[in-house]
Amino acid sequence: MNWIMNDLLELSNDGKTLISVKDTSLKKLVIPKGVTFIYDRAFHCCFSLETVDIPESVSMIGYSAFAGCYSLKQITIPSNITSIGRKAFEGCTALNDVHVMNGVRIICAEAFKGCSSLQNIKIPSSVISIADDAFQNCSSMQCIEVDVDNTKYCSVDGVLYDKELKTILRYPEKKDSFCYVILDGVKSIGKNAFWGCDSLKSVEIPSGVVTVGDFAFAYCFNLNNMNIPDSVLSIGISPFLYCHRLRKLRIPNTIMSFESFNLFGCYCLESIDIPKCVTSIGNNAFEACLSLKSVLIPNWVTSIGSFAFSRCGSLKNVEIPNSVILIGYGAFHGCRNLSSLYVRIENIEKIDIEDYAFDDLIYDECILHVPSNKEDLYKSHQIFGKFKNIVTI
């Protein structure tokens, strides 16, 4: 790309692309008329920039164009802009006034991520696509409004839904409520829908919801009780990641896989009933569930993933069924209070136990309960033979 430069800006040769800002100490800037594209990272290191006027000629804002402009307070997105690029305003922590004009069609991934002063935003009727993480970590967000003429989205009491009210898409992170009841008729809880909503203590999911998206309730630090109804057939990746105060969680027997299900960092979770149809427990599934005391692994489970129960410091009793053929790396590593391990595997030659599945403290202190008439086989086994206390069930 050929370019021209002045003391303030670097522009493409035809003057249509703003490539970069040369004077990064600027507090105010009026972008020249005729610019159509604000290039990727154009305002990189403009830490002092407080206001910028974008002309109507601009049709696209590029990747991370204003990312990290910590002092930027106000922005108007003109109507000719069709796309607000990925991470366009990420980390603009002072940004508290955003006007998106009618004409804008796409708000890309992480476009306003980390805009921690932004309290409200209104989506115009022209918008047809909003990325699920467009407003992630907007920790002051109280309301997402949508123009009533928008055909794709709507807002109910400041919460973003699709137009048909079948999917809840985004609950504002700082909405003033401790409890929320998802609307009847909703079929899907979207990816990141409640991400970072640390004021919420409970969310009521109506019967009829079929899917719970990836990271749906991640970082809801104060969520303490969750009942997932029997209508749910699919749960995405790490839906309750770092829900520190989650104590009770009911998962229906309609869920068949814990392969990507992850409760990492649910420090207060004391018990969990793993659905009966589950065939695998994924990596890190219950890692650092510090209050988890007992686990009954269902009879259909064939694999326990790496670090699945690692650092579950309160775990005292575990039962492993005959169906298990793999115990992954570090699966029970750091379970310092494990006192009883019931292993019902009849043919222990079929099982693959990876390194550090258990640690020396477990071998020394935990009682291994094994099937009757199998005690000698377990005592001679390469891994199970390390247990100092082996008794028959």
Residue-range domain boundaries for the chain: 1-138, 142-255, 277-393
Name the helix (H) or strand (E) containing 180: strand 179-181
The two domains 1-138 and 142-255 share their CATH topology (first three levels equal):
yes
Residue of 153, 254, 243 whose CA lies nearest to 207: 254
pLDDT at 2: 44
Q: Return phi, psi of residue 172, to 5°.
A: -60, 135
C-alpha separations of 295 from 10, 342, 369, 374 in Å = 62, 11, 15, 23
CA distance linking residue 225 with residue 245, whole number of Å:
9
Q: Which single residue is written with the structure tokens 């990727």?
A: 40
Reading the block at residue 11, the tokens are: 């522009």
Q: Which two tokens stand for residue 306?
A: 């790496």
Given a cut of 50, the residues of the chain with pLDDT beneath it are 1-3
Q: Map tokens 């670097």 to a residue.
A: 10
Q: What is the pLDDT of residue 58?
A: 97
Q: Strand 280-281 and strand 317-320: pairing?
A: unpaired
Q: Which residue has the tokens 């989205």?
A: 153
End-to-end CA distance of the chain: 75
Hey, what are 200's tokens? 């919420």
Neighbours of 185 (CB within 10 A): 11
Q: What secondary structure letter does DSSP report for 156? A: E
CATH of domain 277-393: 3.80.10.10
CATH architecture of 1-138: Alpha-Beta Horseshoe (3.80)
**What is 91-147 written as a DSSP string?**
T-TT--EEEE-BTB-EE-TTTTTT-TT--EEEE-TT--EE-TTTTTT-TT--EEEE-
Topology adopted by domain 142-255? 3.80.10
The pLDDT, as a whole number, for residue 257 is: 77
